[in-house]
Amino acid sequence: MSSSALLQSGQEFKRGLITALPVMLSFIPFSLVLGAQAIQKGMRTGEISLLTAVNFAGGSEFVAVNLWTSPPHLILIALMTLLVNSRHILMSAALTPYLKDLPRRKVLSALFLMCDESWALAFTDAKNSPKQKFSYYFYLGASIGLYVVWVGFTTVGALIGPVIGDVTHYGFDMAFVAVFLVLLKGMWKGFTAAVPWLVSLLAAIAGYLFLPGAWYVLLGTISGLTVAFIMAAYD
């Protein structure tokens, strides 16, 4: 890589890091909640740190912590994690056109670091760029920043959890909802384009109310995707 290309890559990485800073700050209370809950469930600090480092997906980590017992039911936890993370299949598929020409090592690192927030930030940035161009290093800067904050503060939450008690009493768990509302606003294209979101939301709510476990995640994903395909076919 030439010096000019290296400089540009560094600038894009820094831009992604700065753009993701508000989301990083919102990660702090949410990750503290996860760490504290994990300790209350009987997990060790090293175990929750390893969980967040290997499986960078907050929703499935909360499911894993809630299902944690001593000894843990590993097969059940693995299946629920797979179910909750099923949305990542669609997210990674959406990234494919932008990553297909990159070396495998870059593709694998991008997919490993992908989370809802970094994915949304990268696509919003691409949509707002003059040439609708996806910036790999912008995405990498945002993703690594979010990853470090998430793993780090989950560990902090595990360490201070026994001292501060149930952190949900402080309303920290609302950070998750607030982040997603902001991300959805950034990707808003009008009511018509949001119909699949609405269908997915309603299907997920119905699944949450009437089905056991985390099936509402898969139900919401499939419902929204089906409506999006139907709308595209008649567009």
- Summarised one tens digit per residue, pLDDT across range 202-229 is 998 998 899 886 677 778 878 887 887 7
Q: Are 223 and 200 a contacting pair, CB within 8 Å?
A: yes
- pLDDT at site 184: 66
Other beta carbons less than 10 A from residue 191's beta carbon: 9
Contacting residues for 166 by C-beta, under 8 A, at least 6 apart: 36, 40
Neighbours of 204 (CB within 10 A): 19
Q: Which residue has the higher pLDDT, 179 or 98?
A: 98
Task: Please give the average per-residue pLDDT across 173-197, as a whole number.
Answer: 68
pLDDT in tens, 60-102: 888 788 778 777 778 878 887 887 787 788 788 888 888 888 8
Choice between 76 and 145, residue whose per-residue pLDDT is larger: 145
pLDDT number for residue 187: 61
The more confidently predicted of residues 79 and 182 is 79
Q: What pLDDT does residue 41 have?
A: 85
What is d(CA 79, CA 9) in angstroms, rounded to the nearest whole number?
38
Say how many residues make up the chain: 235
The predicted pLDDT at position 173 comes to 59
Are the CB atoms for 111 and 126 separated by under 8 Å?
no
Residue 89 confidence (pLDDT) = 81
pLDDT band at 54 (very low <50, low <70, confident <90, very high): very high
Higher pLDDT, 87 or 183: 87
Q: Are 35 and 161 in contact (CB under 8 A)?
A: yes
